[in-house]
Amino acid sequence: QDIRNTVGNIPMEWYQDFPHIGYNLEGKRIYKPIRNKDELDMFLEKMENPDYWRTVQDKMTGADIKLTDEQVDLVHRLQKGQFGDVHFNPYEPAVDFFTHEVMIHPVTNRPADKRSFIPSLIEKEKVSKLVHAIKMGWIKPRKPKDDTPTYYDLWAHEDPNSILGRHKMHVPAPKMKLPGHEESYNPPPEYLLSEEEKLAWEQQEPAERKLNFVPQQYRCLRAVPAYSRFIHERFERCLDLYLCPRQRKMRVNVDPEDLIPKLPKPRDLQPFPTTQALVYRGHTSLVRCLSISPSGQWLVSGSDDCTVRFWEVCTARCMKTLPVGGVVKSVAWNPNPTICLVAICVEQSVLLVNPCLGDKLLYGATDQLLESYVAPEEERVQPVQWVMATMEEHSKGVRLVIQHSKAVKQVTWHGKGDYFASVVSDNSNMQVLIHQTSKRWSQNPFRKSKGLVQCVLFHPIRPYFFVATQRYVRVYNLLKQELTKKLMTNCKWVSSMAIHPGGDNIICGSYDSKLAWFDLDLSTRPYQLLRHHKKALRSVAFHKHYPLFASGSDDGTVIVCHGMVDNDLLQNPLLVPVKVLKGHVLTLDLGVLDVLFHPTQPWVFSSGADGTVRLYT
């Protein structure tokens, strides 16, 4: 035995986390040998060291020991189940100490004990105790084993009132209908079918017939023939029995009212427009677009009858009619209250018109501002041409004409009122152009086209630009000149877009009659898809101050919804439809073409294909 380590017979795992492995006879620590070999070194040693197979680790000292040949032989012998000592012979000849022959003289001549032939007193006492216990009944004799198998009634102790488990779902076989008078061989005459009834019965589908046979009359029971459909009916009855679903469907009783989300009542969300107050009549064709002055006093409408009309909001009086010589696709009033200017899209140009309405100082200052422009010394290459209006156009109110290469379909102002953007019906990268009025300078912000642009919008506060193509809305940062977000609308074709005055939510209308509400901080997918309209949405709009948004559709209705956006970012927006406004007459399958909120009042304007503009208050 190795007595270098004096820790005794203990599990050596106790020293696993210590640098030493025990103590020697002097009481000094025995340190483990340094083991810094990794798996690779171990493998290499295994391959290169010829004595690797006979090297073992001593648990007591932690050192590697190379076994001698004698020790290896000992291990082999023990593995085979042989004796450890080489010189031990397990098959030495046996010496017979006792002979197998019976001798006369015994080996030992000791006389037998007395106790071997006298009855034992201790045993007698034990037996008497056991006899007493059996008499008293303390010890029961063992019952004889009964080999006959025992059967018992499984249902004997069942409660008769409780339905058994496997019969709980029992569905009794459907009973056959008992025969009535019509099945008699001699039915009363009112049960017999007339000729018309017989014809009608033959023409009916078998599933729709009340009777599956024609009642007939016979003289006596002997004259009744065999029933032709007997086997057929028995077979159907068998089918009914074995195809009957033998299982009860557990119905969950849910109150349908609980499934509808709890929305506030519309009357708690007032004010919102409810009734048609004014109709602005005058246009002879469909009114495509609307815009309103920042003061809320004047309304401008553009129509397919090639005119732009200016109305006084409160009286529905047409103040001015401007013939423009083409279909008006879009109008936009400058949102800056100190400038009186309207941008109008007509065919391939954008007209900047001073309507000369309202405060004379205001529209006079606007003209002075436009005339104070000084052209730069050197001509710059521009994608469009800025042309001064002729004398005749100037008298009508037109101040500037921006001529594009293709037809213009939308124009929209930046909130400050100096820049505006136009969308051209084209498939190239020239679809969107941004113009600056004060410098009469236009630029093309995009190098390549990302699809057909439907409409564009400026962010009300931040330098963002929204571009809606058929399926996506891309948000660009104008300062950094990069794409910041791409919103998936989940719609087939976007028609219109509006941004919440707070700037964190936008809504998109689409021609597949969906309205998508996006929370820009939340996700690039719609927060909610509203399918309130039956037909395509043509226009959507937000109110500047009230939590309202509206959508106009080809079904001739304007739906006003309450869209509360909380200042608390953890609260989700609350969207509640509050009113369906009707009034427009469907013309050429077109209904409402544009919707617009009043800048200060909770009023909504809508323009329709019936040539009218309507105000709901």
Instruction: Tell me what pLDDT residue 162 has.
Output: 60
Instruction: Tell me what pLDDT residue 358 has.
Output: 76
Give the pLDDT band (50/70/90) at residue 166: low
Residue identified by tokens 């949405």 is 537
| Highest averaged pLDDT of the listed ranges 128-132, 211-215, 408-412 | 128-132
Instruction: Tell me what pLDDT residue 616 has.
Output: 92
550 pLDDT exceeds 90?
Answer: yes
Whose CA is closest to 463, among 481, 448, 447?
A: 481
CA-to-CA separations, 454 to 23, 483, 497, 531, 549, in angstroms, rounded: 88, 18, 9, 21, 20
Whose CA is closest to 302, among 310, 312, 293?
A: 310
Which tokens sit at 427?
Answer: 């498939």
pLDDT digits (tens, 9 = 90+) for 218-253: 989 899 998 888 898 889 888 888 887 666 667 777
pLDDT digits (tens, 9 = 90+) for 286-315: 898 999 998 888 899 999 888 899 999 888
Please calculate the CA angle 421-422-427 and round it to the nearest 5 degrees.
125
CA distance 609 to 94: 128
Section 534-559 average pLDDT? 90
Cβ–Cβ under 8 Å, residues 363 and 336: no
**What homologous superfamily does CATH list for 268-370+382-616?**
YVTN repeat-like/Quinoprotein amine dehydrogenase (2.130.10.10)
CA distance 71 to 65: 11
Q: Percent of the chain scored above 70 by pLDDT?
A: 96
Which tokens sit at 121?
Answer: 């007193």
123 pLDDT exceeds 90?
Answer: yes
Instruction: Tell me what pLDDT residue 165 has.
Output: 54
Give the pLDDT band (50/70/90) at residue 551: very high
CA distance 164 to 568: 58
Ranking 47-61, 152-166, 348-362 by mean pLDDT, the lowest is: 152-166
119 pLDDT exceeds 60?
Answer: yes
Instruction: Tell me what pLDDT residue 1 has.
Output: 55
Instruction: Tell me what pLDDT residue 509 has.
Output: 92
Instruction: Tell me what pLDDT residue 130 has.
Output: 94
> How far out from the chain centre does Cα 239 lie?
44
Give the pLDDT band (50/70/90) at residue 110: confident
Instruction: Tell me what pLDDT residue 248 has.
Output: 65
CA distance 7 to 239: 86
Cβ–Cβ under 8 Å, residues 320 and 306: no
Mean of the per-residue pLDDT values for the chain?
Answer: 85
Please calculate the CA angle 555-505-264 and round it to the nearest 5 degrees.
65
157 pLDDT exceeds 80?
Answer: no
Instruction: Tell me what pLDDT residue 87 has.
Output: 86
Instruction: State the pTM of this model.
Output: 0.58
Instruction: Tell me what pLDDT residue 331 has.
Output: 93
Which tokens sit at 129?
Answer: 């105790």
SS3 207: coil
Q: Is 192 exposed, middle or buried (0-12, 13-18, 19+ CB in 10 A)?
A: middle
Domain residue ranges in the chain: 12-71, 268-370+382-616
pLDDT digits (tens, 9 = 90+) for 385-403: 888 888 888 888 888 888 8
Q: Is 366 exposed, middle or buried (0-12, 13-18, 19+ CB in 10 A)?
A: buried
Instruction: Tell me what pLDDT residue 522 has.
Output: 80
pLDDT digits (tens, 9 = 90+) for 557-577: 999 998 888 776 667 778 888
CA-to-CA separations, 175 to 169, 172, 207, 229, 295, in angstroms, rounded: 18, 9, 19, 19, 80
Q: What is the DSSP letter of 119?
A: -
Question: For 40-84, where are the E strands, in sequence order?
Answer: 55-57, 64-66
CA distance 474 to 196: 71
Instruction: Tell me what pLDDT residue 170 has.
Output: 65
Instruction: Tell me what pLDDT residue 175 has.
Output: 80
pLDDT digits (tens, 9 = 90+) for 206-226: 888 888 888 889 989 899 998
CA distance 537 to 593: 8
Q: What is the DSSP letter of 183?
A: G
Whose CA is closest to 240, among 301, 150, 176, 319?
A: 176
Section 584-606 average pLDDT? 89
The more confidently predicted of residues 290 and 33 is: 290
Ranking 90-104, 338-352, 539-553 by mean pLDDT, the lowest is: 90-104
128 pLDDT exceeds 90?
Answer: yes
CA distance 435 to 424: 13
pLDDT digits (tens, 9 = 90+) for 348-366: 888 888 888 877 788 788 8
